[in-house]
Structure 1
């Protein structure tokens, strides 16, 4: 996994409260970093599609997270949180996550979301317009997403 594999990037500096006494980031914080990245991904997706209000991801619920740790982040490191939508299904989508320090991969993973009704949590199809906005944002041909 290389930083160049991702269109989206968000910088995040490791805060003191996220590290132990040796300055190493506690592993539970990496999922929070990925979540911040997803939020900022949607913010940038919306900025790339002015006038649309259906690209917030508010109807998506996380159903699976997987993180693989390669190297530790340290207090005050400037991290590069990188994400891309790696799969768009009928009602689900997957983000590939890479957390880097410079060019060094620290953590890689995947977060799978399902679009669902807010009340019943039953899956709903992802609208075609949402999928197209993702494809354009990712600069991926429809047959590849």
Structure 2
């Protein structure tokens, strides 16, 4: 049973219009493009927090590595649809963070999902704690503490 995301859970949205090159022979957005949409919206989420990506996140020798993505396709997007992509931090761990995402066309939910990143030292790729300044910015922006 698909999980229908509630728009009320999201305080950040990024709008994207589907381009012709993203549509497959079935006249719908090819499934792989939804991860690109999520990536663009996460970058814009960081921008809304006043974080330059990747410069600010890698300045202390660390970076984020995607370790898990899950997408549920609820309805297709088509060429020229204007999509609203909701992003929120659903979980802050010691060294990881989980983004919840929802994609809508007007009021219709099209996609729900999750992207999990782990913070690690770039050279060794060993996990390291999330920077405290990042944690503070997320908590201030979200207005509540995401699940720990």
Q: TM-score, normalised by structure 1?
A: 0.88
Moved over 3 A (4+): 52-58, 142-145
**What is the aligned length?**
140
- Which residue of 60, 64, 70 maps to 2:64? 60
Say if 2:129 is the partner of 1:115: no
CA apart distance, 1:2: 1.7
CA apart distance, 1:73: 0.2
Instruction: Give the structure 2 partner of residue 4 of structure 1.
Output: 8
**Conserved? CA contact 1:46–1:56, under 8 Å:** no
Return the alpha-carbon distance in structure 2 between the equivalents of residues 31 and 88 of structure 1.
21
Say if 2:34 is the partner of 1:30: yes
**Conserved? CA contact 1:8–1:41, under 8 Å:** yes
CA apart distance, 1:113: 0.3
For the structure 1 residues 136 and 63, does the alpha-carbon distance in structure 2 shift closer, same or farther, using more than 3 Å as the test? same
CA apart distance, 1:130: 1.4
- Please list every run of 5 or more consecutive structure 2 residues that lacks an aligned counterpart in the other structure: none
Say if 2:81 is the partner of 1:81: no
For the structure 1 residues 83 and 55, does the alpha-carbon distance in structure 2 shift closer, same or farther, using more than 3 Å as the test? farther
Return the alpha-carbon distance in structure 2 between the equivalents of residues 75 and 124 of structure 1.
41
Return the alpha-carbon distance in structure 2 between the equivalents of residues 41 and 74 of structure 1.
24
Could you say what secondary structure the match of 1:136 adopts?
helix
Could you say what secondary structure the match of 1:46 adopts?
coil
**Conserved? CA contact 1:82–1:97, under 8 Å:** yes
CA apart distance, 1:55: 8.4
Return the alpha-carbon distance in structure 1 between the equivalents of residues 118 and 112 of structure 2.
20
Say if 2:129 is the partner of 1:125: yes
Return the alpha-carbon distance in structure 2 between the equivalents of residues 129 and 62 of structure 1.
20
